[in-house]
Amino acid sequence: MLSRVAESIYWMYRYTERAENIARILDSNYHMILDLPTGFGEQWEPLVVTTGDEVLFEKLYGSYSQENVVQFLTFDRNNPNSILSCLRTARENARSVREWISSEMWQQLNTFYLMVKDASGSGGNIELPHEFYVEIMMNCHLFAGLAGNTMSHGIAWEFGRLGQMLERADKTARIVDVKYFILLPSVEYIGTPYDHILWGSILRSASAFEMYRKQYGQIVPDQIIEFLLLDNQFPRAIHHCLIMAELSLRNISGTMRGRFTNRAEKFLGQLLADLDYTTVEDIKALGLHQYIDSLQTRLNKASEVVFETFFSIPEEATSVTQDQVQS
């Protein structure tokens, strides 16, 4: 298939996944605030840190008020990673590959974008945030479901899943990193009900609360880290995401596990192999922040290698590649 088409499908999935993640962290933050005692201080800055757009935010808004952060992350056209911008980019990518994806996928993304664009028109005031963000999440899931059920699981689809899984791994890593950082000063809450609320909100940010409960029961920080980073079955756990991403790469080239035929396979395979044999003790020995930092560097590198292997067009024409924003 055309490199340009593969790249568009990859970004279409990535941006839809990104929109879903942003809706989720906004929603879980609203919930957390309602459960915390007044005076605890509303934490909105970490959300912007999670998307990695602090510099742009401070230039555009300055103060991290709820109103500013919600507007910046939801509707701001100047923020390439706002929900609205993500959906617009996803839709523009979809538009350029309409002959590859199913009509159902296109119509869902198109209708979805128009819905959020209409909502942005009313001054961006969200009367019922939970309802609104759940609707966004469900629309993203609907897109993913339609993609899985209406499009052939061939190479085009594998490029989509590769993008989705790399994006999701990156977002889970950021959520854990940022949340953990906020939780550090709150040692005084250990043993209080708020401890559970705060740690629970990490899980909720990754929609992992119920699945975690089933597996571990009690809220224990080490186990939460183990679950979100190293679980191989939970769909948002980094380990699981990389298993699926690596599988997509092998399906694209038709290579059996244990061999590699391109740099992307080699790089991602090595990263996955490391995760296969990592324990939560290893992570703690290095320090969670340091571990995630290095993991994120490798995830970014993986995206670059994928780009170089499949999308960067041989010969001249380097000036015409799409202006895509990587987080």
List of residues contacting another protein (CB under 8 A):
1-6, 88, 92, 95-96, 98-100, 103, 106-107, 110-111, 114, 117, 155, 159, 252, 310-311, 313-315, 317, 320
Whether residue 10 contacts residue 162, with contact meaning beta carbons closer than 8 Å, is answered with: yes
Total residues found in the chain within this entry? 327
Nearest-angstrom CA–CA distance, 103 and 83: 23
Residue 167 sits at φ, ψ, to 5 deg, of -65, -45
CB of 158 to another protein, least distance (A): 10
CB of 111 to another protein, least distance (A): 5
State in Å, rounded, how far the first CA of the chain is from the last one.
26
CB of 4 to another protein, least distance (A): 5
- Closer to another protein by CB, 77 or 289: give it: 77
CB of 14 to another protein, least distance (A): 17
Angle at 37 between CA 36 and CA 39, to 5 degrees: 115
The SS3 of residue 218 is coil
Q: Which residues of 180-200 are buried (b: 16+ CB within 10 A; e: fewer)?
A: beebeeeeebeeeebbebbbb
Torsion of CA 247, 252, 254, 255, to 10 degrees: -50
CB of 27 to another protein, least distance (A): 26
Identity of the amino acid at 289: H
- Closer to another protein by CB, 93 or 205: give it: 93
Whether residue 245 contacts residue 165, with contact meaning beta carbons closer than 8 Å, is answered with: yes
- Closer to another protein by CB, 132 or 310: give it: 310
- Closer to another protein by CB, 83 or 237: give it: 83
Nearest-angstrom CA–CA distance, 189 and 186: 6
- Closer to another protein by CB, 32 or 84: give it: 84
CB of 88 to another protein, least distance (A): 7
- Closer to another protein by CB, 107 or 270: give it: 107
